[in-house]
Chains A and B, each alone.
Chain A
C-alpha cells in the first residue's frame, strides 16, 4: 500500500470517528426531547405506555389544544417572553457599556470591581433568593414584571460584562483613536465602531440572558404569586396536581416553550461569526 493510500485511509478513519462521536452526542441530547414530543402526542389512555416509537399509535394534538384552550398557557408564554426580552435587552445594554468602561478606562477600583463581579458568579443562585426577595419587596415590586426584570437583569449582568470586556480587549484601540480623529466623541466611537464590531459577543451575551431568564423558576416562584402574572415555568408546574399530573399537556407545553428559544438561537447564529475585525489592522 502506498503512503498516499495510508494517509487517505487514516483520514477516512478519523473522519468516521469524529462523526460517530458527534452523532452519539447529538442522539444523547435529542433523545429526551423526542421522548417528550412522543408523550405530547399520546392519547390520554396511553400516557404511561412503554412504547418507544416516536409517533405513538393514535397520535393526537389534543394535549396541545387543551393546553391552549383550557389553561392560561398563552398568557404565561407572553409573560415569559416580555420579561425575557426586556431582561435581555436591558442586561446587554448595561453590560455593553459597563464592559466598555472596564476595557478602556483607568479608574480606581477597576480591578476590584472585576473581581467582585466574577466572585458574585460563584455564589449559588439559591443563596441569592432571600436578598432578592427582600430587595424586590422593599421596592414594592412583588408580583410585577418590573420586579422580575430587575431580578433577572442584575443576576446575569456579571457574566455578560466579563464576556464583553474580554471581546472589547481584542479590538485594537487604534480604531477608536482613528474615529476620534475623524470627529466622533468617545461615545460616538463606541456606538459607531466598537458596537458593530462586537456583534458576536453581544449575541452570546443576549443568548445567555435570554436562556437564563426564559428557563428560570426559583426567583419567579418567590416574586410572582398570581397565576395571571406567572411565567411559563410556574404555569406548567400548575399542571401538576396532588393526585394527578397532566403529563400530556405538560409535555405539549414543554415542546411549545422550546420554539422561542430555538427561533432566537437560529436568528442570532448569523451574528455569531468570527473575524469581524479582519483587515482593520496589520494582522
Chain B
C-alpha cells in the first residue's frame, strides 16, 4: 500500500478554474473520503490521480514518486467507476482478470486471484455470466472485484454507490467498510453523500468550488466545522443558522437575531470585548434544539410556534417559527403537540457554533 500527496494541485478547463491549489496528504492504509457538492472538483481530483485528466499545476506523488506524467497503468492504482464501466463483451471472470491477462500473469495465479476476489465479494456463482445478466449491486461488486484482483497500491472509488437504490447502497456501504478492514488498503473515495463520508471515512476532505474547506476525522468535521459551508454540508438534517449581531452587555456578549436573544457563554467566545458589534451567524444542529424542556448548559428559552411535524419513525422533525426565523428541531417520537401550538425552545450551548458573517469562518471554540 502507499501514501498519496497532492501538492498545490490546479486544474483549468480553458478559462474555468476547477481546482485551485489543493494540498492533501493521505497516509498509508488510510481511508479518505473526498466529499462535496456536484461540480466542486472532487471527481476531477480523483481522475487526475488516476492519470485520466491532465494536471494544470502542482504535483501528485504516490509513495513519494511524482506521477504527473505517468500513464494510468503505471501508477499501480485501481479505480471503481461511478457507472461500473464493466466490459460488456466479457464475462465477469474475464472482466476481473483483464488487467492480469494484459500483464501476462501466470494462468494459475490469475485463477487464484479471481477466485479469492469472487469469494470476498460472493461472486462465485456469477463468474461465467455477462454484465448484462447481473443486477446493479452485482455489477458494482464485479467492478470492485476487478480492482481487488490487481492488488494495487491505492484504490480509487468514484461515487461507486450513487447509482444504487437506498437499500442496496446501505448494504454496499457495509460491504466496502468490511472490505477495507480486510484489505487494510489505502482508499480514496469520492462521494457527494455526506452519510457515506461520515460512515466510511477515517478522514474526510470537504471540498467546495475547487478549494479544500476542511480536512479532519468525521467527528471533527461534525463537531468543529471550520466554516459555514462545512457546517451546512455535514450533518443531516442540516444545521440551523441564525444571522445576527453580537453586543457587549456588561461582562457578557449578547446575540440578537430578531426575536431570538441569547447570552453567549465565555467558553464559546473568549475575550467578549473583541467581538462587540460583530455580525455573526450562529449555528445549532437540530438535535441541539430542545423543545419544551431544558438541560444543563442550555440557553434561555425563546417562544416559538410549531409549524409542521414530520414523523421519521423513532425521531420526529419539528419546524418551529421563532419571529422571522424558522428552526428545525429533531426530537424523540412522538411529540405530543399539534401544529399551531406555542412551544418554547432553547439551544445546547456546548454544541453551538459561531461563524463570522463576512469571512464565514468559525470563531467559536
Inter-chain contact A183/B83, CB cutoff 8 Å: no
Chain A residues in 8 Å Cβ range of B136: 282
Interface size class of B (residues with CB under 8 A): 20 to 34
Cα–Cα distance between A118 and B102 once the two chains are bound (Å): 38
Interface residues of A in 154-196 (CB under 8 A from B): 172, 174-175, 177-185, 188, 193, 196
The contact string, 1 if C-beta is below 8 Å from chain B, for chain A 241-283, is 0000000000000000000000000000000000111111110
Contact A181 B88 (CB under 8 A): no
A279 to B84, CA, bound (A): 9
Whether A175 and B87, one on each chain, are in contact in the complex, defined by CB atoms closer than 8 angstroms, is yes
Please name all residues of chain A whose beta carbon is closer than 8 Å to the beta carbon of B81 when the two chains form the complex: 174, 177-178, 281
Is B139 an interface position by the 8 A CB rule? yes
Contacts of A135 in B (CB 8 A): none
B29-87 residues at the A interface, CB under 8 angstroms: 50-52, 71-73, 77-79, 81-87
Per-residue 0/1 for B131-147: is the Cβ within 8 Å of any A Cβ (1 yes, 0 no)? 11110100100000010
Q: Given A177-B85, A279-B86, are A182 and B133 also a contact pair (CB < 8 Å)?
A: no
In the complex, residue of chain B having the shortest beta-carbon distance to the beta carbon of A174? B85
A197 interface contact, C-beta 8 A: yes
B73 touches A180 (CB 8 A): yes
A278 to B83, CA, bound (A): 12
Beta-carbon contact of A180 and B52 below 8 Å: yes
Query: With A180-B52, A183-B99, A282-B136 given, is the CB distance from A175 to B85 under 8 Å?
Result: yes
Q: Mark out the residues of chain B between 142 and 171 whose CB falls within 8 Å of any chain A CB in the assembled complex.
A: 146, 150, 163
Contact with B along A202-239 (1 / 0, CB 8 A): 00000000000000000000000000000000000000
Q: Which residue of B lies closest to A184 (CB)?
A: B102
**Max chain B Cβ within 10 angstroms of own Cβ: one of A177, A196, A275, A277:** A177
Structural contact, B85 and A172, CB atoms closer than 8 A: yes
- In the assembled complex, the Cα of A281 lies from the Cα of B84 at a distance in Å of 5
* B99 with A182: CB separation less than 8 A: yes
Which of A181, A275, A276 is in CB contact (< 8 Å) with B52? A181
**Quick check: A196 and B89 within 8 Å, CB to CB?**
yes
CB distance from B80 to the nearest CB of A (A): 9
B103 close to A181 (CB less than 8 A): no
Residues in A whose Cβ lies below 8 Å from that of B78? 181
Using CB atoms, name the residue of chain A closest to B158. A174
Q: B72 contacts A180, CB within 8 Å?
A: yes
With a CB–CB cut-off of 8 A, which chain B residues contact A279?
A: 86, 88, 130-134, 139
Given contacts A183-B102, A279-B139, contact A172 B89 (CB under 8 A): no
A181/B87 contact (C-beta < 8 A), A279-B132, A282-B163 known: no
- Whether B229 is near chain A, meaning CB under 8 Å from some CB there, is no
**With A and B bound together, what is the CA distance between A283 and B287 in angstroms?**
39
Residues of A within 8 A of B (CB): 172, 174-175, 177-185, 188, 193, 196-197, 275-282
Pick 7 A–B contacts, CB within 8 A, sort by A: A175-B85, A177-B79, A181-B52, A183-B102, A197-B88, A279-B132, A281-B81
Q: 5 additional contacts, CB 8 Å, given A279-B139, A281-B83? A: A175-B85, A182-B146, A183-B73, A275-B132, A280-B84
